[in-house]
Structure 1
């Protein structure tokens, strides 16, 4: 079972690239962030033609998350229970069943938090606290669980080409990184790091200053696995080739593959 995450940065603007990627890589489950579409306007028909059913938690103009699956899904959750602002569409979840068994997949778009010292940073930390509480409860189910998405956190200096450039950014603040470590401390595994411990495993390159051409990237898109999912981890990767496509998102897909 291949589970992928991609901050698509506008599903309508990136539709052709999304369909090409689905056709070329054939993931079983995909969580999308920043679809920037209300639920009713999401292009589910075109994605269905590619073989995927969709569940969507949309928002007009901003945010928005979706889950695409080639496998049967049930027990859908939209919105993070306990989140500080229910008006922002940032979380979606479903139980997926395939040849590899069941897996609960959560897709999240964590708040950016900039600028530091404003209510936006406070909201980021409050959302992370609510997410931590929710995940703690989910882990008591003792089932395979993959929590994938744009966390808007650079966990370690090795997750940035130039960590010093992010010193004053909400993505790299001690509070943000500490909250991420608390998630890991619940018993989760960082799927990408487990398979790619070295430098250069980036998932985001800014549109400005030739960041892509200079490989001036950061890793902020993560797939965290419960112990039951970690036991089945077979491979993980980052489809960085999509960043070189015409009209790309500034993020690229990342994925894990679970064995039966």
Structure 2
């Protein structure tokens, strides 16, 4: 069997509510599929002191989190059994950690980065990201989103120059093309699909990143988010706004990229579902 690591992203829309689902999903992957070696979470919606480090530790995972009350918040969860022997605790697992975009003053917790020393390979730089929603193109929140995207691009350019194995994972709140939207005509003029946002997404790709999902043949109408309202999931009225972008070195070893819709079928689910990429060890 080819040795690989599986990395994933999931906007859980409140970790306090969804912790049992996160643990169930990780355990299900471990038992019947392949383990998730690292999971990047978004929208924790809890402060650092409320983060469930112990529960995850008991399940075999070590975490790094950047929390915030009520809104936002990101985390990186790593399977302890997947780590190199040198990694014994959080300080030796999450190397060169960064919280928020350096030089970009922002109280909202949207970025967490660390290099992870997986066994049998050079560390992978993981960036767990929760992009601003933007609300609407006429709003101040949209202007904030565009400024944030510009700051992200500038910082990632520097990160890529220092880390050839880098993955940007999370809820981007951008559907890159009309193929990522259930009904493009209904979204004309709205955020998530605006020309400005799609241009910003393309500029991330031009840094040397690749949309892992589009590296492989995928079923049409594949989405990662469905509105709670109007039976969005049942009608598959969704959007693909959760992504895993890979640097050139990781892209060349990417074996698969997929969306796991199953957690969206569970009781009291997040409106997002996990996205996964599998990387062959060098």
- Matched residue SS, 1:94: strand
Number of residues paired by the alignment? 259
Q: Work out which of the residue numbers 91, 95, 109 in structure 2 matches 1:89.
A: 109
Distance 1:172 1:49 in 2: 41
CA contact (8 A) 1:142 1:228 kept: no
CA contact (8 A) 1:30 1:69 kept: yes
Distance 2:217 2:13 in 1: 25
Tell me the alpha carbon deviations over residues 11-57 of structure 1, each in whole angstroms, 9 at most, x when there is no partner: 01111111100101131001100000001111111111111101110
Q: Work out which of the residue numbers 224, 236, 249 in structure 1 matches 2:270.
A: 249
Which residue number corresponds to residue 136 of structure 1?
157
Structure 1: where are the runs of 5+ without partners? none
Q: Does 2:44 align with 1:67?
A: no
Distance 2:17 2:186 in 1: 29
Structure 1 pair 206–146 and aligned structure 2 pair: CA distance change class (3 A)? same
Superposition CA RMSD, Å: 1.2
Tell me the alpha carbon deviations over residues 198-257 of structure 1, each in whole angstroms, 9 at most, x when there is no partner: 522210000000110011110000100000111111111111111000010000000101
Q: Which runs of 4+ in 1 moved over 6 A?
A: none
Distance 2:42 2:125 in 1: 17
Q: Work out which of the residue numbers 101, 104, 107 in structure 1 matches 2:128.
A: 107
CA contact (8 A) 2:99 2:113 kept: yes
Tell me the alpha carbon deviations over residues 124-170 of structure 1, each in whole angstroms, 9 at most, x when there is no partner: 00000001001111111252100000000010000011112222321
CA contact (8 A) 1:22 1:50 kept: no
Distance 1:238 1:198 in 2: 10
Q: Work out which of the residue numbers 21, 25, 33 in structure 2 matches 1:21.
A: 25
CA contact (8 A) 1:9 1:33 kept: yes
Q: Does 2:191 align with 1:170?
A: yes
Please report the TM-score for the alignment, with normalisation by the length of structure 1.
0.96
